Structure 1
Amino acid sequence: MPTPPPHPAPAPVPPPADRALPAGSRRRRPRAPRTPIPPAILVLIAAAFVIALGFGLVAPVLPQLAHSFDVGTTAAAAIVSVFALARLVFAPAGGRLVERLGERPVYVAGLAIVGLSSLTCAFATDYVQLLLFRGLGGLGSTMFTVSALGLIVRLAPAGARGRISSYYAGSFLLGNIAGPVVGGVLGGLGLRVPFVVYGLLLLATAAFVFVRLRAATGSAATIGGEAGTPPVLPLRTAFGDSAYRAAIGSSFANGWGVFGVRVALVPLFATAALGAGPALAGAALAIFAVGNALALPLAGRLTDAYGRRPLVLAGLATTGIATMALGLVPNVAVFIVASIVAGVGAGLLGPAQQAAVADVIGPERSSGRVLAAFQMAADTGTIIGPLLAGFLVDTLSYGWAFAVTGAVCLLAMVPWLVARETLPATTTEPAGS
């Protein structure tokens, strides 16, 4: 472990951007002007809103479109699962594409593929075609997800990574909230209409990003072009970093609890266990989103001011305890409170762990496979979590399902307790001084 530098006198030149603070050290961060957000990042944030909005457009009608081909509930659910499965399977190849071609072309191509996939879903003539076209959309999704993370890593200033991650996540959140509302209205015009609108939106967004990113970043050399191809961070090297290993664990737990069990079981729990009506079941995820929205802006600022580890640990603890409490809630009022608190925990966790991964990679290296593995951890949790939790509900109870899910979040804290702090240091001093 490197020896912390002596206290320097105030100087106009900051220390190297990616100098990390050893675990157990205490930080004294001088006041400084807020780091501006690069224009290219603003383009990605705007695109994230459109992507999430479009995904929400088709979410309410996708199972209904599958049912229209006279298939059962399991086959209709498979239409949802094939998207996540394709993302998981194709993630390593997507990471290699980013390293070979650069982030921008892979991002634009991924958006175009998902857009074309949505348009072809609108014109599918049978269930098999719908399943195939939706799976192809998953391939495009992992392309733009991995490359978007890579662009943020490359372009985000070290002092604003937490804030940028919170803005990016908040943009997705707003799109996810607005999308189903608009999609429900469009679905009334026909089950295929939302797919057409989504496809056209994504193709237009791909063209917008292609033009605006080039204008915002200048030459291709800055984002993976041939003239300035950066060195690749090997996956083995990343796994040698305690912070990256911890982020893989928390990403898995986040996928299990937030993207998996919460989406699959919480609405059912509100109806079956609490005896609530369809209105609460439908609003269960929106209630969680309220807590998420409340936490994200603050989480980004705190992550950049005080470090990644404290926010990750707080987020995992809050989410884990609130999720375990869900299985014990006696009434609807407590259920709402627990859901909001769990949303706050997820809001604290997301920006901090993404910023930590960005710190590990640094702006000077390409990182397709490293980011793909980080995404795969969440996708794996999203697939495994609902299956195991559903089995626990069928054999034991909702209480057991939520208890195990909360325990997964709490166990993910252990690697972070011994992981290094990755926030670039300004002034450091030993913890005991």
Structure 2
Amino acid sequence: MDNDTSGGSDQHTMRQIRVLVAAAFVIAIGYGLIAPVLPGYAQSFNVGITAASAIVSIFAVARLLFAPTSGQLVQKLGERPVYLLGLAIVALSTGASAAAQNYWQLMVFRGLGGIGSTMFTISAMALIIRLAPPDKRGRISSLYTSAFLLGGITGPLLGGLLGGLGLRVPFIVYTVALVIAIVVVHTQLKFVEGGDAARAVDREVFPFREAIRDPAYRAALFTNLAHGWATFGVRVAIIPLFALAVFTTGPVLAGLALATFSAGMAVTLITAGKLSDKIGRKRPTVLGLSIAGIATMVLGISDNTIVFLVLCIIAGIGTGFFVPSQQAAVADLVGSDRNGGKVLAAYQMTADLGAILGPVLAGLMAEYISYQAAFAFTGVMLLLAAVYWIFAPETVTAKRG
């Protein structure tokens, strides 16, 4: 049975959710601060392009490998302690990165940052599920995603400016921001007496083997894999290369493409979240995946700048529709009265896996076949996820154990 979350009144619950949303915004800004300077910072240790790129990859690989352990920690210790510990690890590793004396130190510190990142990502997801009332899960998921998105847009702009003061400066600023976030979360995010660890032990554990038997959960896993592949992989790695190869204003257009995608996603998220609470998770998810999939497929054959940017906006709109809806669907499956650390870890891992494999495999397709093939394959993945969802049950109305 799905109960409303702990924490007392609706006002108290919403205050805690706002704390998580604010922390997500700070974290996303901070990550964006170091993103523009990280490859250059790595190269300052006299390494090549491949080694500099590996500094970016090690963060995602560490997230992927440590996700199962993070899920176990959430089940044993509770969400809040793991969330704070994850933030602390990222803060310490970021500060250490600013003081790194060689390439290998930087590599180790960024890997540790990836471990902390997956800890607070999974625990934050669990906290949102636990706190959000069932009839507001879509809206709260969209609000949380919007905070990350807006922080991700603002961060790189500030990071580029701070990078002019020195490559280590953005790392220092991000460390300070994380320390502030830790203090705010520690003082403002509190639960009722008994301790978070005790509550984690008392709650029923939702086993992964039970979740994977549910077709809606399998659909969510496939969707998140396609989402990681398309949004965090192909969009970031292949679209800029495509813009350079096809259009004369490549670098400028690449930046506009990423910005327009984010803008399309941003204007859709809140509406999509409300819609999923009103009509269910399934229809907005199918609609969003279909829009994003078709737009991505057509993107590979576009040779007009305006058409290219419009397609990026449409793909962003589609993504904005399905992201909060599928997150709310996973929340429906777990429920606020169950501890689903491992289930949420597996869900997060699929996006990380897509983000790692997407640039590599799509890059191989673009190099040895064509860009059209790379975008077509990515679009087909999104459309297949939409088809999968058509045959999955609606999580809002389906009875869960």
Question: Smaller-chain TM-score range?
Answer: over 0.9
What pairs up with 1:73-112 in 2 under 5 angstroms? 73-112=49-88
**Paired residue for 1:292?**
265
1:219 shift after superposition: 2.8
1:269 shift after superposition: 1.1
Alignment partner of 1:88: what SS?
A: helix
Which digits, 9 at most, give the CA deviation of each residue in 1:93-112, with x for residues without a partner? 00000000000000001001
Alignment partner of 1:423: what SS?
A: coil
More helix by share: 2
- Are 2:75 and 2:205, in contact at CA under 8 Å, matched by a contact in 1? yes
Paired AA for residue 326 in structure 1: L
Identity %: 54
What pairs up with 1:113-192 in 2 under 5 angstroms? 113-192=89-168
**Paired residue for 1:257?**
230
Counterpart Cα distance in 2 of 1:295 and 1:319: 13
**Paired residue for 2:290?**
317
Of 412-421 and 153-162, the range deviating more from structure 2: 412-421
Change over 3 Å in CA distance of 1:76–1:274 after alignment to 2 = same
**Paired residue for 1:231?**
204
> Is it true that 1:56 corresponds to 2:32 in the alignment?
yes
Which digits, 9 at most, give the CA deviation of each residue in 1:215-247, with x for residues without a partner? xx33354x5435863111000011111111110
1:274 shift after superposition: 2.0
**Paired residue for 1:202?**
178
Counterpart Cα distance in 1 of 2:276 and 2:380: 24
Alignment partner for residue 370 of structure 1, among 337, 343, 348?
343
- Are 1:86 and 1:139, in contact at CA under 8 Å, matched by a contact in 2? yes
Which digits, 9 at most, give the CA deviation of each residue in 1:58-82, with x for residues without a partner? 0000000001011111100000000
Alignment partner of 1:421: what SS?
A: coil
The number of residue pairs the alignment matches comes to 393
Paired AA for residue 184 in structure 1: G
Alignment partner for residue 274 of structure 1, among 237, 244, 247?
247
TM-score in terms of structure 1 length: 0.88
Alignment partner of 1:38: what SS?
A: helix
TM-score in terms of structure 2 length: 0.95
- Are 2:75 and 2:201, in contact at CA under 8 Å, matched by a contact in 1? no
Counterpart Cα distance in 1 of 2:182 and 2:99: 21
Counterpart Cα distance in 1 of 2:119 and 2:202: 19
Compute the RMSD of aligned alpha carbons: 1.7
Alignment partner of 1:420: what SS?
A: coil
Counterpart Cα distance in 1 of 2:295 and 2:226: 14
Of 229-238 and 163-172, the range deviating more from structure 2: 229-238
Change over 3 Å in CA distance of 1:57–1:220 after alignment to 2 = farther
> Is it true that 1:45 corresponds to 2:18 in the alignment?
no
Paired AA for residue 229 in structure 2: W
Paired AA for residue 253 in structure 1: A
Alignment partner for residue 219 of structure 1, among 190, 193, 197?
193
